[in-house]
A and B are shown apart, each in its own frame.
Chain A
């Protein structure tokens, strides 16, 4: 019985790879399987190679596997590029010409079928676009997915937007694909997946999970400038915020996006912005203002490959230190990093509470892989969402106060907050160094007191911060430390290592700042070999650990700064090599 399988859809941008992949992922999810997807797209609308991988498993998975079992390619060029990834007994469907005989060496042990999707679509349905649902039909045959699921999803997608006729033709195209696949493949080539109950689960991207988290957490103001791969948060929220009384505003640039977020927060909204790459650099300016004026703000940064414009559709973890040490001056900030879509939701809710409790900027640091790829998760639990607005007063509380000071020096450094329009709450949000009421003050003693006040706000925050999570065998000698979307590959690698008799464990950091030094120190002390796994060139997390844990054990970096996410073998191999 098949327990785990990966399907890849490949073609040129504009071929409908994204559509086909997304629908197949949802089909497999409804078939009851756990899903992780990965898209590899150029920063281009049409013409260049793209591929979409869906890994499905009966058991919980977090990352991709090393192999692809079924490849459906809308052109043959895609096949040659992905030949090495295709597993033994893999099956390949290819539209179009160009698969030259004899097949390359790497094609051995794999079955190839020419499947003229485009031509069939044109002949049978008058338009090439039907090749996509035809491909879905063909795959549903190979995977043995109920036609009722396929037809249900087609109707869901097209009925409202395009009408019955389009639904009917697409259903026919899917049936045609199903029959054609049955004709051209032998029974032994099929990869039947036993259906499971689709329990209380969802299939969601990290960006959407952040959007849903923001909505649940009471975010009612969202300002941003379009940028890949963060725009999905906004494009999702834009449909829902107005229904909840909120607003989404497109700004002229990211300078405005964060400044506007701060204005909105100052006036009383739970406010958020999102960005990536160069946009984050522009936000560095107002990041410092949020710190100085103690204005709560949530900034979601979905990292992409840099520097400069880099590769806007490729993932990377190269902006970690920018948020931890970046901007001018010193001020408290919190940097969170979710490793699963469930954590994207939870940490977003947490981010809004932390921002208001500690009156400082909170960064939700994810990556393109986390933001745009789909993963199954347990349905989010809204009943556990708590909204904590910290020391935000009420108008009545304010009236009862003898003397309100917005930046009052308190033992925990956190001061009461009032909103414009409230009686007796007048104050100034000041970017200059200021006194307890917010007015400019250049007195050296005041400067020290205010700096101490701001900087001690996070001294005792650790119980409120998402702590590191430990995965794997407790006593293992091999340890991994990582954060964010590398979690999937690390867990896969640990499973492969276990099968090779090498137990390991993994410390997943979910708060990168304030740095969880005690937990990391303990983990380092208990492991013999520690590998820091990061999707960047220089090992920013390793640099951070070395700066925060002293003395620090020897750390080995496993780095990937390529355009693709980590494959499990890229983590397994260096570990095995180091043990020889």
Chain B
């Protein structure tokens, strides 16, 4: 097994105490636990504080546009399904500007691990309301309090046919690493939504606040992540936020369904021009 330090490129410059440190650590631990070569790991990030992760992580990376992690990551995965593709977004990236892509990635059940770091606001742009900001919250963009009701990523994922839905807390790195590791092994799309405090702009949803407001699903009597009804019930509790593996289901992955041969990745195809075969195809136009 590799040491987690193997994946460490640079020390991050996030604000001291930022939840992203825990997430960074958890991803490294998960990669180490799976003994991934850094060359076989591609991390696709969006725009926001989380997007700096590529600079700190020793792996192939794609830091694209705001909200567009999903299509980029899908393109990579389909061209080389042997790669471990981990996409990462913030709540703005995933649930605001990238919401459409998120739902369709779930629908396709493509083999990606999607880590969404949710700090309940736009932090990099100094603290505006995001889709997960609580109703009534005063932010830079909502001086009179947010007039929109928040949405919940895991609930959306369950409704959209997600096959691996988990929620972690960046204050519990060991649990989080285990969830990410599990998600990386999942055959299909894995969402790991992470409750992650922003120590600079969010003075309400702090580490302590989360500790008081989370419940681990494994502590719920008779909880079974294969039971959709139980998953709905756990997600419906807005007083106590369900954390852990909320739902899991086996469904064929998109790459399994659409790729002609998973053992011959598109990335390594020989592109030589097959003249006689092409001529035969052209004959249809005669």
Q: Which residues of A contact B (CB under 8 A)?
A: 30, 198, 201-204, 208, 212, 215-216, 218, 220-221, 223, 240, 242-247, 249, 251-253, 255-257, 259-271, 285-286, 289, 293, 379-380, 382-383, 385, 387, 419-423, 425-432, 438-440
Chain B residues 252-273 with CB under 8 Å of chain A are: 258-261, 264, 266-269, 271-273
In the complex, the answer to whether B260 meets A428 with C-beta atoms within 8 Å is no
Interface residues, chain B, with chain A CB atoms under 8 Å away:
38-40, 42, 44, 47, 52, 54-55, 58-65, 68, 70-76, 78-80, 82-83, 100-101, 103-104, 258-261, 264, 266-269, 271-273, 275, 278-279, 281-282, 285-286
B119 to chain A, nearest CB (A): 21
- Residues on A with beta carbons closer than 8 Å to the beta carbon of B271: 218, 220, 270, 387
Q: Is the CB of B100 within 8 A of A261?
A: no
- Indicate which residue in A215, A257, A419 contacts B281 across the interface (CB closer than 8 Å): A215
User: Chain A residues with Cβ under 8 A from B64's Cβ?
Assistant: 259, 262, 289, 293, 429, 431
B268 close to A268 (CB less than 8 A): yes
Do residues A421 and B75 form an inter-chain contact, with CB atoms below 8 A? no
Q: Which residues of B contact A422 (CB under 8 A)?
A: 39
Q: Which of B54, B71, B74, B281 is close to A212, meaning CB atoms less than 8 Å apart?
A: B281
* Nearest-neighbor residue (CB-CB) of B264 within chain A: A245
Closest A residue, CB atoms, query B258 = A247
Q: Which residues of B are found within 8 Å of A220, using beta-carbon distances? A: 266, 269, 271
Contact of B62 among A30, A215, A244, A429 (CB under 8 A): A429
Q: Which A residue's beta carbon lies closest to that of B47?
A: A431
Report the separation of the CA atoms of residues A203 and B285 in the bound assembly, to the nearest whole angstrom. 5
CB atoms of A263 and B72 under 8 A apart: yes
Query: When the two chains form their complex, are residues A285 and B65 in contact, meaning their CB atoms are under 8 A apart?
Result: yes
CA distance A267 to B39 in the complex (A): 12
Interface centre among A198, A260, A267, A438 (most CB of B within 10 A): A267
| In contact, B78 and A264 (Cβ under 8 angstroms) | yes
Contact A267 B55 (CB under 8 A): no
State how many angstroms separate the Cβ of A369 from the closest Cβ of chain B: 18
Contact B75 A261 (CB under 8 A): yes
Chain B residue nearest in CB terms to A439 = B55
A427 touches B260 (CB 8 A): no
A266-B75, A268-B79 given. 6 additional CB < 8 A pairs? A220-B269, A256-B68, A264-B79, A267-B42, A420-B76, A428-B55
What would 12 A/B residue contacts be, using CB atoms closer than 8 Å? Answer: A30-B286, A203-B286, A216-B273, A263-B62, A265-B75, A268-B266, A289-B65, A382-B278, A425-B60, A428-B61, A431-B64, A438-B61
Pairwise interchain contact A262-B75, C-beta atoms closer than 8 A: yes
Q: Complex formed: what's the CA distance from A440 to B54 in Å?
A: 9
Measured between beta carbons, the chain A residues less than 8 angstroms from B83 are 267, 420-421
Residue numbers in A under 8 Å from B65 (CB-CB) = 259, 285-286, 289, 431
Q: Does B39 contact A423, Cβ atoms closer than 8 Å?
A: yes
* B282 CB, min distance to chain A CBs, angstroms: 6
Are A253 and B100 in contact, CB atoms less than 8 angstroms apart? yes
* Chain B residue contacts of A249, Cβ below 8 A: 74, 78, 258
Cα distance A89–B63 in the bound complex, in angstroms? 67
A240-B103 Cα distance, complex, nearest whole Å: 29
In the assembly, what is the distance between CA of A429 and CA of B281, in Å?
37
Taking CB atoms, residues of chain B closer than 8 Å to A428 are 54-55, 60-63
Report B-chain residues with C-beta under 8 Å of the C-beta of A244.
269
Contacts of B55 in A (CB 8 A): 428, 439-440
* Residues from chain A with Cβ under 8 Å of B63 in the complex: 428-432, 440
Compute how far the CA of A260 lies from the CA of B73 in the bound complex, rounded to whole angstroms. 7
- Which of A245, A246, A266, A426 meets B38, CB within 8 Å? A426
Measured between beta carbons, the chain B residues less than 8 angstroms from A440 are 52, 55, 63
Q: Is A259 a contact of B275 with CB atoms below 8 Å?
A: no
Secondary structure at the A interface, as helix, strand, loop or mixed, is: mixed
Q: Chain A residues near B82 (CB, 8 Å)?
A: 421
Q: Pick the residue among A203, A251, A267, A439 that contacts B267 (CB under 8 A).
A: A267
A202: which of B76, B264, B282 is its contact (CB, 8 Å)? Answer: B282
Most chain A CB inside 10 Å of its own CB: which residue of B47, B76, B79, B100: B79
Judge whether B61 and A264 touch: CB under 8 Å.
no
Task: Give bound CA distance, A88 to B188, whole Å.
Answer: 67
A228: shortest Cβ distance to chain B, in Å?
21
Closest to B73 in A: A263
How long is the Cα–Cα vector from A419 to B60 in the complex, in angstroms? 9
Residue of A nearest to B271 (CB): A218
- Of chain B, the residue at the smallest CB distance from A271 is B75
Of A269, A289, A383, A426, which one neighbours B275 at CB under 8 angstroms?
Answer: A383
Given A247-B259, A421-B267, A256-B281 contact (CB < 8 Å): no
Give bound CA distance, A246 to B65, whole Å. Answer: 26
Chain A residue, CB-CB nearest to B101: A256
Q: Which residues of A contact B267 (CB under 8 A)?
A: 267-269, 419-421
A431 cross-chain contacts in B, Cβ below 8 A: 47, 63-65
| A428 vs B9: C-alpha distance when bound (angstroms) | 12
- Closest residue to B108 on the A side, CB-wise? A249
Look across to chain B and name the residue whose beta carbon is closest to the beta carbon of A211: B281
Please give the distance in Å from B30's CB to the nearest CB on chain A. 18
- Given A429-B62, A429-B63, A382 contacting B80 (CB threshold 8 A): no
* Contact status A429-B75, CB under 8 Å: no
Min CB gap B34→A, angstroms: 15
Question: Is A420 a contact of B101 with CB atoms below 8 Å?
Answer: no
> Hey, which chain A residues are within 8 Å of B54, CB to CB?
428, 430, 439
A255 B71 Cβ-Cβ under 8 A: yes
What CA separation (Å) do A257 and B116 show in the bound complex?
Answer: 22
CA separation between A440 and B64, bound complex, in Å? 12
Assess whether B266 is in contact with A264, with CB atoms less than 8 Å apart: yes
Residues of A within 8 A of B104 (CB): 251-252, 256
**Out of B62, B266, B282, which one reaches A379, CB within 8 Å?**
B282
The CA-CA distance from A251 to B63 in the complex, in Å, is 20
Q: Is there contact, CB below 8 Å, between B68 and A267?
A: no
Task: Kindly identify which residue among B59, B71, B79, B103 contacts A426, using a CB–CB cutoff of 8 Å.
Answer: B59
CA distance A423 to B40 in the complex (A): 9
Complex Cα distance A439/B100, Å?
A: 28
A264 to B282 Cα, complex, angstroms: 27
Residues in chain B near residue A203, CB distance under 8 A: 285-286
A136–B209 alpha-carbon span in the complex (Å): 78
Asked if A259 contacts B269 (CB within 8 A), the reply is no
